[in-house]
Amino acid sequence: MAKEIKIFDTTLRDGEQSPGCSMNLMEKIEMAKQLERLNVDVIEAGFAIASPGDFESVRTIAETVTRPTVASLARAVKEDIDAAWDAVKVAKHPRIHVFLATSPLHMQYKLRMSPDQVIQRVAEMVRYAKNFCDDIEFSAEDATRSEKFFLSEVVETAIANGATTINIPDTVGYTTPEEMYDLMVHLNQTVKGVDNIILSTHCHNDLGMAVGNSLAAIRGGARQVECTVNGIGERAGNAALEEIVMALKTRQDIYDAYTKVDSTQIYRSSKLLTSIIGIRPNPTKPVVGRNAFAHESGVHQHGVMANKATYEIMTPQDIGIPNNEMVLGKHSGRHAFMERLGYLGIELDKKQTDEAFQKFKALADKKKIVTDRDIESIVGRNMVRFDGKYHFKYFAVNSATEVGATATVTLEWDGGKSSRRLACIGEGMVEAAFGAIDQITGMSPELIEYNVQAVTEGIDSQGEVTCRMCINDINVTGSGASTDIIEASMMAYIDGINKLVYEIEKRGADS
> pTM of the entire structure?
0.85
Residue 323: band (very low, low, confident or very high) from pLDDT cuts 50, 70, 90: low
Task: Report the C-alpha gap between 8 and 241 in whole angstroms.
Answer: 9
| Model confidence at 128: pLDDT above 80 | yes
| pLDDT, position 347 | 77
Nearest-angstrom CA–CA distance, 339 and 330:
16
Lowest-confidence segment of 33-37, 68-72, 136-140, 354-358 by average pLDDT: 354-358
509 or 237, greater pLDDT = 237
Mean pLDDT of 78-88: 98
**Residue 95 C-beta-side C-alpha neighbours within 13 Å:** 24
For 35-49, the three-class secondary structure string (H helix, E strand, C coil) is HHHHCCCEEEEECHH
pLDDT at 112: 96
pLDDT at 404 over 60: yes
DSSP output for 17-67 = GSTT----HHHHHHHHHHHHHHT-SEEEEE-GGG-HHHHHHHHHHHHH--S
Average pLDDT over residues 30-39: 96
Residue 311: per-residue pLDDT: 62
Pairing state between β 94-101 and 69-75: parallel
Give the pLDDT mean for 105-110: 97
DSSP 8-state secondary structure symbol assigned to residue 418: E
How many Å apart are CA 191 and CA 396, to the nearest integer? 70
What average pLDDT score do residues 76-102 get? 98
Q: What single-letter amino acid sits at 238? A: N
The pLDDT tens digits for 183-202 are 999 999 999 999 999 999 99
**Side chain identity at 161, as an amino acid letter?**
N
Residue 303: band (very low, low, confident or very high) from pLDDT cuts 50, 70, 90: low
- pLDDT value for 77: 98
Indicate the pairing of strand 463-471 with strand 474-482: antiparallel
Res 278 pLDDT > 60: yes
On whether the CB atoms of residues 174 and 144 are closer than 8 A, the answer is yes
Residue 386 has pLDDT above 90, yes or no: no
Higher per-residue pLDDT: 173 or 354: 173
pLDDT at residue 294 greater than cutoff 80: no
Going through 86-212 in order, the beta strands assigned E by DSSP cover 94-101, 136-141, 165-170, 198-203
State the pLDDT confidence band at 261, using cuts at 50, 70 and 90: very high
The residue-averaged pLDDT of 303-319 equals 72
Q: Is the pLDDT of residue 299 over 50?
A: no
- C-alpha separations of 237 from 75, 83, 141, 209, 231 in Å: 21, 27, 16, 11, 6
Give all strands (DSSP E) within 383-432, no chain letters: 391-400, 404-413, 418-426
How many angstroms separate the CA atoms of 484 and 410, rounded? 17
For residue 302, name the pLDDT band (cuts at 50, 70, 90).
very low
**Amino acid found at 393:** K
Confidence of residue 503 (pLDDT cuts 50, 70, 90): confident
Angle at 404 between CA 399 and CA 408, to 5 degrees: 60
Q: What is the pLDDT of residue 295?
A: 44
Question: In which band, very low, low, confident or very high, does the pLDDT at 308 lie, cut at 50, 70 and 90?
Answer: low
Whether the pLDDT of residue 497 is over 90: the answer is yes
368 or 226: whose pLDDT is higher? 226
Average pLDDT (479-500) is 91
Top mean pLDDT of 18-32, 258-272, 277-291 is at 258-272
| Residue 1 neighbours by CB under 8 Å, 6+ apart | none
The pLDDT-based confidence of 300 (bands split at 50, 70, 90) is very low
β-bridge partners, 447: 469
The answer to whether the Cα torsion of 246, 247, 250, 252 is positive or negative is: negative
Contacts of 267 (CB under 8 A, 6+ apart): 288, 316, 319, 320, 321
Nearest partner of 280 among 289, 268, 292, judged by Cα: 289
Measure the CA–CA gap between 230 and 238, rounded to whole angstroms: 9
**φ/ψ bin of 320: left (φ > 0), alpha (ψ from -120 to 50), beta (otherwise):** left
Q: What pLDDT is stored for residue 382 in this prediction?
A: 59
DSSP state of 261: -
Separation of alpha carbons 511 and 506, rounded Å: 9
- Write down the pLDDT at residue 35: 98
Q: What are phi and psi of 61, to 5 degrees?
A: -65, -40
What would the DSSP string read from start to end of 425-452?
Answer: EESSHHHHHHHHHHHHHT---EEEEEEE
DSSP 143: G
User: Which pLDDT belongs to residue 384?
Assistant: 62
For the ranges 65-74, 104-113, 317-326, 444-453, the lowest mean pLDDT is seen at 317-326
Whether residue 306 is predicted with pLDDT greater than 70 in this model: the reply is no
What percent of the chain has a predicted confidence (pLDDT) above 90?
Answer: 66
Higher pLDDT, 264 or 483: 264
In this predicted structure, the answer to whether residue 324 has a pLDDT above a threshold of 60 is: no
Q: How many CB atoms lie within 10 A of CB 217?
A: 28
326-334, Cβ contacts within 8 angstroms, sequence gap of 24 or more? 326/372, 327/369, 327/370, 327/371, 328/360, 328/364, 328/369, 328/370, 328/375, 329/364, 329/368, 329/369, 329/370, 330/361, 330/364, 330/365, 332/364, 332/370
Which range has the worst mean pLDDT, 178-182, 455-459, 474-478? 455-459
Q: Using the CB atoms, write b or e for 1-15: b if 16+ within 10 Å.
A: eeeebbbbbbbbbbb
Q: Write down the mean pLDDT value for the chain.
A: 90
Cβ-based neighbours of 93, under 8 Å, separated by 6 or more: 68, 69, 70, 135
pLDDT of residue 328: 77
Q: Which residues, in sequence order, are CB contacts of 254 under 8 Å at separation 6+? A: none
pLDDT at 463 over 90: no
Looking at per-residue pLDDT, the higher value among 342 and 65 belongs to 65
- Find the mean pLDDT for residues 33-39: 96
Distance CA 347, CA 353 (A): 9
Q: What's the confidence (pLDDT) of residue 392?
A: 87
The top-scoring range by mean pLDDT among 172-176, 304-308, 326-330 is 172-176
DSSP string of 266-319, one letter each residue? HHHHHHHHHHHH--PPPTT-TTTSTTTT---SHHHHHHHHH-GGGT-SS-GGGG
